[in-house]
Structure 1
Amino acid sequence: MAEANDQKFDRAMGALVGGALGDALGMPTQLLSPAEIRRRYGSVERFVSPSADHPVSRGLPAGMVTDDTEQTLLLAEQLLESPDRFDHGAWVDRLLAWEADVKARGSYDLLGPSTKRAIDLIRAGTPPGEAGREGTTNGAAMRIAPVGIALPVDPLDRLVAKVEESCAATHATSVAIASASAVAAAISAAIDGMAWNEAAERGIEAARAARHVGAWTAAPDIAARIEWARGLVSGVDEQAAIAAIVDLVGTSVASQESIPAAFAVVAAAKGNPWRAAVIAANLGGDTDTIGAIAGAMAGAASGRSRLPTDRVAELEGFDLAHAARLAKGLLALRLAASPTTEAA
């Protein structure tokens, strides 16, 4: 029993720390084209400082995490604060307080488009639980790892329901919920010991189960997009995989691009979390978010113990002790959610 708990904790920390690695490595390359990344940095294989004229990351030190990691930890805190029924009002208050803190720190990396739109609606009088009906971007998937840690992948409909609940205030559309469900399920399956490829299959299954959950939006089927994207990088070298992801899958903030791209990145990296972060950082587009999602999924499958310790030590703005406390709390929720199977 103790060994199983230790493995779950190692994998939960792998998700949180792996996500931070992917986020921080992609921080200086986000919003840039692949050609511009090469011009400014060459091939990004380690943490580098953003260029002085970077549109959003200028002034940040090498290895600094961004909103992707910070909002992931915020969601973990909210899940622990309202474990039974997600408190949408408290979640929005938490996001607003975080935004104020980010502004006070002088950061340019603020709320994403869907979250910002939802908060504007809430300020205008829309109930927090209904404000996300136009949110289609990748903000929900980028921070969903705590749900994957807190709930077993089975029963799948319960996991999808918790994802939907956490998305309601900002990303209550079918494409965003299916995308976040895919990421949460892949992480959850990995927490239970599945290898990266098997875990990805559970993610695809969850996206399929969630395809009609939430407000309909004109977007392709996420499960099919993930399967297709993974197939594009199967059996090809890393450079060919990068080209396929950039030219065919897409790397924008749109859920239908960045989430399939993240699954393809993990496949191209053969489940190696650091290699996934490197591939994501060189894609161009929303590199920090794609890196954070890919790093969280690959990290959950590998565990914290298999992440590169020298790179983890170079992270800035990430408190390992705080992440460990959150991971333990989320795993306690997981145990309570399935006392029979988890205690066996």
Structure 2
Amino acid sequence: MTAERDRATGCLEGLALGDALGMPTQSFSPEQIEQRYGELSDLVDAADDQPIAPRMGAGSVTDDTEQALLLARLLIDGGGHVDAAALADALIEWEDSMRARGSLDLLGPSTRGAIDQLRAGAPIGSTGAAGTTNGAAMRVAPVGIAVPLSDPETLMDVVRESCLLSHDTVQGIESAGLVAAAVSAGVGGASPREAVRRAISLVEDAPGRGHWTAHASVTARTRSALKGAEGRSDEELFAFIRSDVGTSLEATESIPAAFALVWHYADAPFAALLAAARMGGDTDTMGAIAGAILGASMGTTGFPRDQVSLVRRVSRIPIDEVVPGLLNLRDNH
């Protein structure tokens, strides 16, 4: 396996592992997480009262991983581009399959609202005008694998394509751009902290895209989160993120939180994912984003192989099927 393929594989493995670690804790408070799972140290089954994934088995992934792989296939089929109408169709089919399986893990609020508007006759281009949650960022990692950082304009154009349906706002595009750029930098050989720095610089320098909303800048809040995370102990970091950054599904909170975890745990990637799982709030998405960035930089050796193998076995995720196609797109640039 080439170094580039190892890092691309590590990206998607890290995404899936962070997602699966956060699956049983998502939407719980830190106190509820500790009551149900104690000192979380590996993959566990979801509790009976898990509000989104009750009784799901250890190693099960959520919408973060499934939608990322869905986007990967659309990118490959689209020759490196994302067709918003095809994304809508694929997401509707995915949600129908989830309902058939009895899952409560369905489309997020921005994507759900966009598809409802689309079905009511609204044109794509207007359906994502209010989407400021983290749905675009959670599934965008394949764009970072497919497009090298040396082509920033194309990278942000494809990010915009992936956001157009549901998150075509300044915040939606900033958040997805940060994740895609950090992943692209990592796949290209950058260390975790260097990948984060390069991602922030790229998004700050990119021309403005997307509809204006009254929310804060995701990039500015990410810079502030990194500054606030510097020099803190683990427990001080947890308290800082919970009180000053936030862990909700809003892009202005969960993306800076995930980047702060990458920054703090740049040399301890599995600890970053466990921290995300214990944080409370949108734990699976913070874990998935942190895992994708750390895995892109560190490759398949970044996380415990027994944990990754359990996720691969339980969730049957086709990582090895999409990585060659994504890297072929990258090579063509």
> Does the TM-score normalized on the shorter chain lie above 0.5?
yes
Alignment match of 2:293 (pick from 278, 285, 297)? 297
Alignment match of 1:78 (pick from 74, 77, 88)? 74
Alignment match of 2:41 (pick from 32, 42, 45)? 45
Is residue 239 of structure 1 aligned with residue 235 of structure 2?
A: yes
Is residue 273 of structure 1 aligned with residue 269 of structure 2?
A: yes
Equivalent residue number for residue 315 of structure 2? 318
Equivalent residue number for residue 130 of structure 1? 126
* Alignment check: 8 A CA contact 1:149 1:191 kept: yes
Equivalent positions of 1:142-157 (< 5 A) are 142-157=138-153
State the alpha-carbon separation in 2 of the partners of residues 211 and 64 from structure 1. Answer: 38
Alignment match of 1:224 (pick from 212, 220, 223)? 220
Alignment match of 1:167 (pick from 163, 180, 186)? 163
Deviation string, structure 1 residues 113-171 (Cα, Å, up to 9, x no partner): 00000000000011234311111100000000000000001232221111001110111
State the alpha-carbon separation in 1 of the partners of residues 157 and 140 from structure 2. Answer: 13
Quote the sequence identity (%): 46
Deviation string, structure 1 residues 216-261 (Cα, Å, up to 9, x no partner): 1112122221111112221221111111111110000000000000
Equivalent residue number for residue 10 of structure 1? 6
Alignment match of 1:24 (pick from 20, 32, 38)? 20
Is residue 56 of structure 1 aligned with residue 60 of structure 2?
A: no
Alignment match of 2:64 (pick from 60, 68, 87)? 68
State the alpha-carbon separation in 1 of the partners of residues 267 and 252 from structure 2. Answer: 21
Alignment match of 1:92 (pick from 88, 94, 102)? 88
Equivalent residue number for residue 342 of structure 1? none
3-state secondary structure, aligned to 1:314: helix
For 1:324, the aligned partner's letter is D
Deviation string, structure 1 residues 49-99 (Cα, Å, up to 9, x no partner): 111111111021011100000000000001011125422111111101100
Q: TM-score, normalised by structure 2?
A: 0.96
Let me know the Cα RMSD of the aligned residues. Answer: 1.4
Alignment match of 1:260 (pick from 256, 260, 263)? 256
State the alpha-carbon separation in 1 of the partners of residues 171 and 71 from structure 2. Answer: 20
Alignment match of 2:29 (pick from 27, 33, 41)? 33
* Alignment check: 8 A CA contact 1:211 1:221 kept: no
State the alpha-carbon separation in 2 of the partners of residues 93 and 209 from structure 1. Answer: 33
Runs of 4+ in structure 1 deviating by more than 6 angstroms, as ranges, are none
State the alpha-carbon separation in 2 of the partners of residues 223 and 290 from structure 1. Answer: 16
Unaligned residue ranges in structure 1 (runs of 5+): 338-344
Equivalent positions of 1:97-112 (< 5 A) are 97-112=93-108
Q: TM-score, normalised by structure 1?
A: 0.93
Is residue 199 of structure 1 aligned with residue 180 of structure 2?
A: no
3-state secondary structure, aligned to 2:14: helix
Equivalent residue number for residue 341 of structure 1? none
State the alpha-carbon separation in 1 of the partners of residues 35 and 171 from structure 2. Answer: 34
For 1:114, the aligned partner's letter is S
Alignment match of 1:181 (pick from 171, 177, 194)? 177
Equivalent residue number for residue 249 of structure 1? 245
* Alignment check: 8 A CA contact 1:178 1:210 kept: no
Deviation string, structure 1 residues 12-67 (Cα, Å, up to 9, x no partner): 01110000000000011100111111111112111111111111110210111000
Equivalent residue number for residue 328 of structure 2? 332
* Alignment check: 8 A CA contact 2:67 2:139 kept: yes
* Alignment check: 8 A CA contact 1:153 1:159 kept: yes
* Alignment check: 8 A CA contact 1:88 1:129 kept: no
Unaligned residue ranges in structure 2 (runs of 5+): none
* Alignment check: 8 A CA contact 1:187 1:296 kept: yes
TM-aligned CA distance change 1:250 to 1:211, over 3 Å: farther
Number of equivalent positions: 332
State the alpha-carbon separation in 1 of the partners of residues 4 and 269 from structure 2. Answer: 17
